[in-house]
Amino acid sequence: MIRETIALIARDLKRWYRTPAQIILVFTTPLMWLLLFGQAFNIGRLAQIGDTMTDLRLVFGGATDYFSFMAIGQTAFIMLFASFFSGVSILWDRKFGFLSKLQVAPIPRAVIPLSRIASSLVKSMLQAAVVIVLAASFVLVPGLSGLRFSPSFGFADALGLALFLVLLGISLSALFVALGLIVRNEETLFGLINLLNFPLMFTSSALIPIALMPDWLRTIALYNPITFVVDGMRQLVFDTSVGAEYTVAVDLLGIGIFSALMIGLGALLARRALLRG
Amino acid sequence: MANLSDEGATKDESMSSEDVVVVVDQLEKIYSGDVRAVDSISFNVERGEIFGFLGPNGAGKTTTISILTTQTLPTGGRAEVLGYDVVKEPGKVRRGIGLVPQELTVDDELTGRENMELQGSLYGVPYSDAKERIDELLDLVRLADSAARKVKTYSGGMKKRLELAEGLIHRPEVLFLDEPTLGLDIQTRTSMWEHINKLKKETNMTIFLTTHYLEEADALCDRIAIIDHGNVIALDTPGELKKAVGGDVIEIEVTDCDEDILEIINGVPGIALIDGTCAENKARIKVPDSGAALPKILTNFITRDIQVASVMVKKPSLDQAFLEFTGRELRDEESTAGNSKKEAGARKGRFRRRR
């Protein structure tokens, strides 16, 4: 089981890193968002136009500026987008018969979704790392604000950060891979992905501070799994609970429960999709 | 799965012998909407033979392969491959079979060798054997020189050959080839036939292939099942199937003749007509042996001073056999389930006059 899983992960990654366009996208997509959205959309400056000196950390989840706030949200954003590609790729594998080749092979059925989730996780974690490195390096560019870590940010915090992202990546790719297996038509799959992606992203505190949301949206955002992830990560990165919605432990529990649900749902759907008709 | 009640029964003695590797017994696949893709077919495939499934598109060939290779569940009947029930023991069936599917499933972004290595991992080929076996197979399909290139640079024929090599990586006992030469040019097709024949000669592997090319079935198969609308309508060696068509067809055209030439031919001593038609100056007859009949007929015509304009002899081909058994030409078939099944049955075995 391990050998075929590794072989399939390797196949998937080779397809990815050997396509120059994919590698260019890994860098340009986060660059666009960080530059055009993160730098231009400077809510912090707006907030300071008035006389009242609000503590911006209350608005920006512990960060003192919008860019630092959104850069962390951007890592979750990139996990979401990297994960949905895994669902699309498995639909292509069905179209081109690769999936039926796997179904004829003497391998446990579970290897098919598991290997795809694993390869998706490798890709999305790499992209999240690219986001963080790019955002931090903005400090070096005159005229740009960069992602400012708390001076006390250490190895344990980095591991915590990775854990949040891994849990998010697993739950999202489990969902999307299962959808990619069960939906047989690209248009439907893309429609479904859009239907999930945009609400998931924009009802969370990834890019927009919860404090600025209307009440109804705030209620939704507080239960959005992405909110748990970014809320926890910000507390680790900025080393403060000021402006946080939950404690780190509750954040971890929240995304943990979401992961368990998505893995369960994914397994159920994938099992159905891979059954012989 | 309504008719699977007897699948647990012990195997029929005659079927469980070592020499039968595929047993299909009243196999049935009905899709929703009463589409009978496979309608109660039965046949056996013996060890070491190339067994051909010949029929038009939509006849049920791919569905049958799909059931036998554990991708689709039958709705009735029973099928065993290598002694294992395809419904109950798919894992054991999968280990013993190889499949070269109709569509190309090799990965374009990987090299030929990487594709083979992936296949080796999926089929649990021991690491120690893998390299040697991959070299050997790449050699067999003449891709050794291109093995380091990405498959997207390959031609269609090369991809198909790689697909064949992949199907052989775990040395399967039975190899399923679904339309192995579909979409290939004549030259590539012929070379594919060579590969398949070589494989059979060198390994004594059992090969189950589907095709809608009669030449292909004729060139490769030891036995052929003609399938149409989900039914096996004939099963025999190519030779016997051709014989069933019953003799050679001779077409003779004369320049000018007042008499009925069919009458004259019928009167020639030693000529036994199986059938014959005549229109204007042209006669179309069927005889057991054209080589013996034609000189007698021509000599007779010369003595009667009848000028012969043209003579054409047609040896029986599987083309004609197909026409004979199904009542339709194979080539321009656009099969829609159930339309002329009854008619085809009624025509079976009768000589059908063609204009």
Is pTM beyond 0.90? Reply is no
Q: Where are the domains of chain B?
A: 5-236, 243-314
Residue contact A100–B104, C-beta within 8 A: no
Q: Does B193 touch chain A (CB under 8 A)?
A: no
**Structure tokens, A137:** 């390096």
Report the share of chain B in percent with pLDDT over 90. Answer: 39
Residue contact B94–A104, C-beta within 8 A: yes
- Choose among A19, A105, A277: nearest Cβ to B94: A105
Give burial (CB, 10 Å; 0-12/13-18/19+) of B332: exposed
pLDDT in tens, B222-273: 999 998 888 888 899 988 887 777 777 888 888 876 677 777 787 777 777 7
Distance in angstroms (rounded) separating the CA atoms of residues A32 and A263: 32
Quote the pLDDT of residue B342: 38
Residue contact A100–B91, C-beta within 8 A: no
Which of B209, B208, B203 has its CA nearest to residue B170? Answer: B203
Quote the pLDDT of residue B14: 44
User: What residues are paired with B90 via a beta bridge?
Assistant: none
Residues B193, B216: contact at Cβ < 8 Å?
A: yes
- Choose among B94, B103, B109: nearest Cβ to A14: B109
**Structure tokens, B290:** 């054209």
Alpha carbon B230 to its chain's center: 14
Residues A124, A174: contact at Cβ < 8 Å?
A: no
Going residue by residue through chain A, which has 277 residues, state the pLDDT in tens, using 9 for 90 and above.
899 999 999 999 999 999 899 899 999 999 999 988 888 876 766 666 555 667 788 888 888 888 999 999 999 999 998 998 999 999 999 988 899 899 999 999 999 999 999 999 999 999 999 999 999 999 898 888 889 898 999 999 999 999 999 999 999 999 999 999 999 999 999 999 989 988 998 899 999 888 888 999 999 999 999 999 999 999 999 988 888 889 999 999 999 999 999 999 999 999 999 887 7
Q: Which CATH architecture has domain B5-236?
A: 3-Layer(aba) Sandwich (3.40)
Query: Residue A18: what are its φ and ψ, rounded to 5°?
Result: -90, -5
pLDDT in tens, B47-59: 999 999 988 888 8
Q: Nearest-CA residue of chain A relative to B126?
A: A3
CATH class of B243-314: alpha beta
Residue contact A104–B70, C-beta within 8 A: yes
Residue contact A102–B124, C-beta within 8 A: no
Residue contact B109–A15, C-beta within 8 A: yes
pLDDT in tens, B176-196: 999 888 878 888 888 889 888
Query: Residue B25: which pLDDT band, with cuts at 50, 70 and 90?
Result: very high
Question: Which residues in chain B (32-91) have CB-CB distances under 8 A to chain A?
Answer: 69-73, 90-91
Three-state SS string over chain B comes to CCECHHHHCCCCCCCCCCCEEEEEEEEEEEECCCEEEEEEEEEEEECCCEEEEECCCCCCHHHHHHHHCCCCCCCEEEEEECCEECCCCHHHHHHHEEEECCCCCCCCCCEHHHHHHHHHHHCCCCHHHHHHHHHHHHHHCCCHHHCCCEHHHCCHHHHHHHHHHHHCCCCCCEEEEECCCCCCCHHHHHHHHHHHHHHHHHHCCEEEEEECCHHHHHHHCCEEEEEECCEEEEEECHHHHHHHHCCEEEEEEECCCCCCHHHHHHHCCCCCCCEEEEECCEEEEEECCHHHHHHHHHHHHHHCCCCEEEEEEECCCHHHHHHHHHCCCCCCCCCCCCCCHHHHHHHCCCCCCCC
Residue contact B118–A14, C-beta within 8 A: no
Domain B243-314 in the same topology as domain B5-236: no
Q: Nearest-CA residue of chain A relative to B152?
A: A15
Quote the pLDDT of residue A49: 56
- Choose among B69, B99, B118: nearest Cβ to A11: B118
The CA distance from B118 to the nearest CA of chain A, in Å, is 6
Residues A207, A34: contact at Cβ < 8 Å?
A: no
- Choose among A14, A105, A107: nearest Cβ to B110: A14
Alpha carbon A263 to its chain's center: 16
Q: Is the pLDDT of residue B340 over 70?
A: no
Quote the pLDDT of residue B335: 41
Which residues of B fall within a CB distance of 8 Å from A115? none
| Whole-complex ipTM | 0.86
Alpha carbon B68 to its chain's center: 16
